[in-house]
Structure 1
Amino acid sequence: MNQHTGREIEVLTKDGELVTGLPEGYDASSGNQNLAVNLARAEIDQQIATAQALPRSIARAVQNIMTLATLDEETAKECIYALPRGGKPIKGPSIRLAEIIQSQYGNNRVGTRVVHVDRIEKYVEAEGVFHDLETNSATTSRVRRRISDKGGKLLTEDMIIVTGNAAASIAKRNAILGGVPKGVWRKAYAEVERVIVGDVTTMAEKREDAMKAFAAFGVTPERIFAALEIGGLADINLEHYTTLIGMHQALRSGEATVEEMFPVAKPKADQPADLKGKLDKLAEGKDQPSTAGEQAAKQKETQESEAGSSPAGSDAPGKQASTPKATATEQKPSSAPVPPADDGDPIAVATRLGRAAYRNDLSERAVPADYKQKGREAEKAAWIAGFRDEADKDAPEPGSVEED
């Protein structure tokens, strides 16, 4: 039964419930499904009408976002995330900052949900939607996350739910940041970084705090240094500290895992497992060949050198014509060029350490912290020159073809 009163419609449902305020032209015979759709439509139409009647103030929104994001240092730390990608971290606003932006921008609707769980392809997909009611524009973002471990085994049901929630959070953040103009929150994000960094005089304390924060996730300092491509704790500067805070927040919010952020490289058979072990090995001056193949080649070269130094058939008195293989302790030094002794010369020492660093698979950026101090520029340059000299030796000659 339809009763028209002006432009409003009153509908008596099959359950005997009287519904009012429906749009004109509503068809009661379409059933409860159309009723739910029209109710949702009426709700959105009312919100759009309210948003257009009470438009937002951009200046007030910018100021409110700035105030809330920098309310204190702890809040600022939660407003940034970072993920290492290809040796260069990617930093950006986190879901916490996106929530502040959405609430203070006003006149909008936000939603997120998990739309698909694929146990065959082993991924979960979530969708986030941001609807600006003033301009009636909508932004949609979809995010996929893997639901298998490193061995390809499907995660448990509880972990799939956790992964789905993390994907939904990322999708929501991307939808908000895609729907709200960057000019509204750019200054707030820059101020967040400034609050996090603070004063350079407190860097020693900040470094220790960062190491303790990652230790709660089982991350050792050596894995952190490797991800940042630095030599040690003293090399962490203001930019590195901001990146570490973002990486920690990404772990806390579930946007990344420890395995994704700090992958453990498989060491060679006789190589130290971490960066600290490599640096300790360099400090001891152990510049021996790092692989079994190199050691075998060096042994063969030594044997050929010994064979060529004595004519065939000329055996010394009292010695047999064919001598057995010499043991490792009895072998003569290799005939390969050996760097001259440095005799305490700091430049020669730096050059030797740079060559050893390359042979131990370190990055050119892993210059020892001592060489970065003022007044030791020559030693730093010598270290880099030694590193590059070793790299040039391994480079293939122009026109040559490498064989497996």
Structure 2
Amino acid sequence: MLIGESINLTGVGKQFGGKSVVEDLSLDVKAGEFISLLGPSGSGKTTLLMMIAGFEYPNTGQISVGSRDITYLAPNRRAVGMVFQKYALFPHMTVAQNVAFPLKMRGAATKDIACRVSEMLGLVQLAGFESRYPHQVSGGQQQRVAVARALVAEPPVLLMDEPLSALDKKLRESMQLEIKRIQNRVGVTVVYVTHDQEEALTMSDRIAVMSGGRLVQVGSPLDLYHRPSSPFVAEFIGKMNFIDGEYLGSDQGTSCVRVSKTVTLQSRDATGAQLAHFRTGAAVRVAVRPEQIALRATSPGSSKDQLTGTVESVIFVGQAHLVLVRMEGQGGSLVEVHVPSGARPTVFAQGEMVVLEIDPADVKLYPRDAGRTR
């Protein structure tokens, strides 16, 4: 079994043509951890990966693997495996020859190479494919060959740059589980670059969310989904509804926000330290996930202080129905609600008035001027 090593990034910065693309970034990755760098295009995640790999050097800061300072080492001296977006397999070599290539470059004995190649192809479930060429295997199999080649020399760290982006949805989902299985089996430390938040949630022990060359939040998938530190993270990790309001104050940890002339929402999400940043009368933004909103039809006795809206459309998306509700008293804001398919959401018809019910524990609270997706 391989034993992964820790990665330490301290104050790492990178500029191209005077423009900062990674800025004063520090991150500790545990040995054997699978961490994803997640962010939109231009967030700096691939540049950061290239600096760990040695294909780019930082202008400032230090990069260490275990106890070794690798900041300015050449790529071939870092003991780091790499899987590229397009796999970069040699088309004139067989599957076995591709996997054996790193060992041949190191001058390993022929017998040892054959044994190690057989072991790695068994690990990635490609035993029997040794004599085939890259064009004779599927995209998913090519991806497995690339993983086997990256791991054959037993690197403590494996870097992966959006390796599944060229695959179709079903194969991509299958390969996510396969890569995670292999990583658990060999114990290598993985740094994985992706812009796909579902992919990051599925595969990662932790996720490092990047924006504008900076880390904006690092945590487990559950932490980022249920406790996003900003509207940017809340909107980038999953779906999120945002509703503008006025902060009215808090009592024993429960905040009250006016979202229309007659309607207020309560939030029990913010801690005491967070509430210290809010002032009575301040413009705020409340956020709630689509699956955390319950809908019911209005009735003659419905109170005017309830959050209501009009059903604009109901869309079947497989496991759930997506109900789009045009809110009353919010300038016509559109809210997404996910209703499980088994809950018979067809009781809601286009044009019907509904009440939106939200548990205060599910309501996130942010300052109005906090940034959203950039």
Q: Name which one, 1 or 2, has greater alpha-carbon Rg.
A: 1
More helix by share: 1
TM-score category, normalised to shorter length:
under 0.3
More strand by share: 2
TM-score (normalised: structure 2)? 0.24
Which gives a bigger RCO, structure 1 or 2 (Cα 8 Å, sep 6+)?
2
TM-score (normalised: structure 1)? 0.23
